[in-house]
Structure 1
């Protein structure tokens, strides 16, 4: 059912209220999602809009806005571009507006290296993203590990304060950060904390930051042999190659800890299993 569009969204996008409607579309565990339909220069145009309440939503949408546009700048057509975000006229509510993608249209499978409508395969786009040099942040003289704003993984806010070392960034901004979030949600867990500290202090399998995305890809799957063959032809496994599987497991660990922080339950077991295996192999 179509509903009135908040004035702040109309103003940010430069739209006329008389030509614009917004209706519920899709779903998210962390926000309300909508399809905004309007007319621009006599032609129909659509946006995807997320809304949420409170400071958490403000942080999430600000980070997603910056993230989408950074990715879109590096690899055009890899993700929707964000057009606006900010406070709504409704009290303590925030929004994000992006390109609208019709996900009902048949998409090329991630289990193959087939090309999408852009003419470039998913594997090739991911490879380009992972080999595009990072910009030099304001106030620094060289590229750094981090991001100019906080971002969220699910509902978890992530500290992206710049670090010159990838080992430092992943250990402190990710693993120790998510351990703190887990303690806040689930209480003190001495065994989990001790295992995280052991992994953090033995970082022999940490290098190869382009591989960070491989962790969540491995956790949830869906990327087949053809995809990885094409990807690694473009982005060879970093040295030492025989430790690639362990590095991916170390990056997957963050997402098990994050899911445990958000949802509790069996994700702790997955995190402990990864840490025990890595500790037995590298911390002996």
Structure 2
């Protein structure tokens, strides 16, 4: 554990609590305040500035529309000469948020989470379009974002970015070829008919990024990679890795019904899951490439190449 609280965190916390005495934390341990509040601070390398900004902007957006659902951001920025404790600190990003003592998600908290997503986050509409104003990171994968007039164009760009990463990695020619067919045949067929609004997404909503506040029993989500998109896309990774009970999905659709055409809901689920299989192939390789391949083949079978006759 560090012997003191870094200067950049001291200044930020004392804006919140001018008279607080602070006890340092290290790693995942929180900075403790004499008021009883706690904070989590982290300092990254200079190459991680975009990651820190993306997480901070995501948390700010979530807090605006669903206060208390995610940890509140206290401060985020880049250490300068005034806040550095040594020359090597200058240019490094920092991040400070409230600390929430969490346990794994309970069934009751999952139902509350479903309701809050359906009635708060997933009804908050962008006035700018689909996308986000800064890059965000799903794992270590940079989502370039920007703004798009249609969900089809936004999602196609997300998939295209992953395929570009796989081509640069090498060894995924067949997978990338199928991926281009997905972009040409499946994405237009499934996403163009949708009449939807761009709503705020968490972006990486699997069980490892959810929890239950030990003090209140309320749900908590964290480590977001937000953007504005189709609400159903936010449910995809939760289905892949499990850990979120079925009651979550049932409750969610009680408050926010499946988009029309409802008959294509399962196919859209497959398409949205594909993003995360491809992303995990980029990040980890291995069996995720086989899973992505199977997902693509199922979608391409559902939308065969049109006959020339």
Fold conserved between structures, TM > 0.5: yes
CA distance in 2 between counterparts of 1:263 and 1:54 reads 24
**Are positions 1:197 and 2:180 aligned together?**
yes
Corresponding residue for residue 209 of structure 2: none
2:10 — aligned with what? 10
Q: 2:131 matched to 1:146?
A: yes
| TM-score of the superposed pair, with normalisation by structure 1 | 0.83
| Kept after mapping to 2: 8 A contact 1:74/1:132 | no
- Number of residue equivalences: 257
Q: Secondary structure at the match of 1:96?
A: strand
* Structure 2: runs of 5+ lacking an equivalent: 197-229
- Verify: 1:256 aligned to 2:277, yes or no: yes
1:71–1:129: 8 Å Cα contact kept in structure 2? no
Distance 2:54 2:154 in 1: 18
| Distance in 2 (alpha carbons) for counterparts of 1:87 and 1:130 | 29
Within the candidate set 181, 200, 203, 2:165 is matched to 181
Question: CA, structure 1 residues 4+135, in 2 after alignment: closer, same or farther (shift >3 Å)?
Answer: same
SS of the residue aligned with 1:280?
A: helix
Task: Give per-residue Cα distances to partners, 1:21-66, cap 9 Å, x unaligned.
Answer: 332243xxxxxxx411223xxx2321112322122x2111111111
Instruction: Pick closer, same or farther for the CA change 1:129–1:282 going to 2, 3 Å.
Output: farther
Match of 1:53 among 37, 45, 55: 45
Structure 1 stretches of 4+ with a deviation exceeding 4 A read: 15-18
Show the 5 A alignment for 1:1-284.
Answer: 1-14=1-14, 19-26=21-28, 34-39=29-34, 43-55=35-47, 57-88=48-79, 89=84, 90-104=89-103, 109=106, 112=107, 114-115=108-109, 121-136=112-127, 143-172=128-157, 174-184=158-168, 186-187=169-170, 189-202=172-185, 203=187, 204-206=189-191, 207=194, 209-284=230-305
Query: Contact conserved, 1:65 with 1:96, CA < 8 A, in 2?
Result: yes
Which residue number in structure 1 is paired with residue 211 of structure 2? none
Change (3 A) 1:129 1:160: farther
- In 1, are the aligned partners of 2:232 and 2:269 still within 8 Å (CA)? yes
1:139 corresponds to which residue?
none
Residues 218 and 18 from structure 1, CA distance in 2 versus in 1: closer, same or farther, beyond 3 angstroms?
Answer: closer
Q: Deviations over 1:149-193 (max 9, x none)?
A: 111111111111100110000001x10011222333x32522111
Decide whether aligned partners of structure 1 residues 269 and 115 sit closer, same or farther in structure 2, where only a CA change above 3 A counts.
closer
Partner Cα distance (2:178, 2:24) in 1: 48
Instruction: With a CA cutoff of 8 Å and minimum separation of 6, indicate the structure with the bigger relative contact order.
Output: 2
Indicate how the Cα distance of structure 1 residues 59 and 145 shifts in structure 2: closer, same or farther if over 3 A, else same.
same
User: TM-score w.r.t. structure 2 length?
Assistant: 0.76
Q: Deviation at 1:2?
A: 3.8
Distance in 1 (CA, whole Å) between partners of 2:118 and 2:7 is 40
